[in-house]
Structure 1
Amino acid sequence: MAATSKLLYASEPRLDVAEFRRVLVESGLGETRPVDDEARLKAMLGNANLVLTARLDIEGRPLIGVARGLTDFAWVCYISELAVSASAQGLGVGRGLMDEARRQLGPSVAISLISMPDAVGFYERIGMKRMADAFWYGRKR
């Protein structure tokens, strides 16, 4: 990423599935997401009611990050993906997406997520509190 590039954060509810897939793969989340199942990726995007993007402010506005969540806009938001292309990791893109989520949701909406093990330190650095009492029913496929 060019040092002079500006980042643009936006709500993008109609994000293109191919761009979403590319960022998932480039971020490393492609190993844990159904990136080869286009119908499922479309459903993931179509059923999310918070889709935030980070793009470079250069020609073509390439997507470098996405936060996808489910929220009631009143009490809680669950962030199901926070994905940043490997080439942009460490540049503040993930923090920027989380800041944009907090800005759009407002101070009365809590944000929760389940971290990948190697991302725990990132969430702690941006000020999220680790919660011990989470529960999970695994998916069958």
Structure 2
Amino acid sequence: MLSIQYHDNRTISAGQFIDVLKRSTLAERRPVDDLDRINLMLKHGNILITAWDGDKLIGISRALSDFSFCCYLSDLAVDEAYQKQGIGKELIKRTHDVSGANTTLILLAAPKAVNYYPRIGMERNTECFIIPRAR
């Protein structure tokens, strides 16, 4: 049995963030070659939940919330070697706990993860609209 430790808003470096994104495959859809953007992502997210195996960062949930109505979970990444052990589900639960019971937790699923979220009890919603980013 793994002894995973979870932390709320523990500071991590851009390098640690990039590393776990790469080990999770989420790096395919994140600007991991743009250090300034990664630093801004870490600076302006207001909820950061991390999962650790000893000193190794193995999972992360980065979200933005108003702590009263909504919480957007922007990044959920778990090292592929640690997936299918409930770590992602726990990161989501802790993110929602921190954002508050009165918030709706919202996320846009990565194509590879679309079938994961309904399996852990999240509802699919088809009424999402976006304006794509320029880069």
TM bin (shorter chain): over 0.9
Matched residue, 1:7: 4
- The CA RMSD measured in Å over matched residues stands at 1.1
Once residues 102 and 133 of structure 1 are traced to their aligned partners in structure 2, the CA distance between those partners, rounded to angstroms, is 21
Q: What TM-score, normalized by structure 1, do the two folds share?
A: 0.91
Deviations 1:45-83 (A, max 9, x none): 000001110111x3xx21000000100011110000000
Shift of 1:13: 5.0
Q: 1:71 touches 1:78 (CA, 8 Å); kept in 2?
A: yes
Query: Which among 111, 119, 134 is matched to residue 117 of structure 1?
Result: 111
Letter in 2 for 1:102: H
Q: 1:78 touches 1:111 (CA, 8 Å); kept in 2?
A: yes
Residue 45 of structure 2 is aligned to residue 48 of structure 1: yes
Q: Percent identity?
A: 36
Once residues 133 and 10 of structure 2 are traced to their aligned partners in structure 1, the CA distance between those partners, rounded to angstroms, is 25
Shift of 1:124: 0.3
Which structure 1 residue ranges, 4+ long, deviate > 6 Å from structure 2? none
Residue 18 of structure 2 is aligned to residue 21 of structure 1: yes
Query: Which among 22, 25, 35 is matched to residue 38 of structure 1?
Result: 35
Letter in 1 for 2:98: Q
**Alignment gaps of 5+ in structure 1:** none
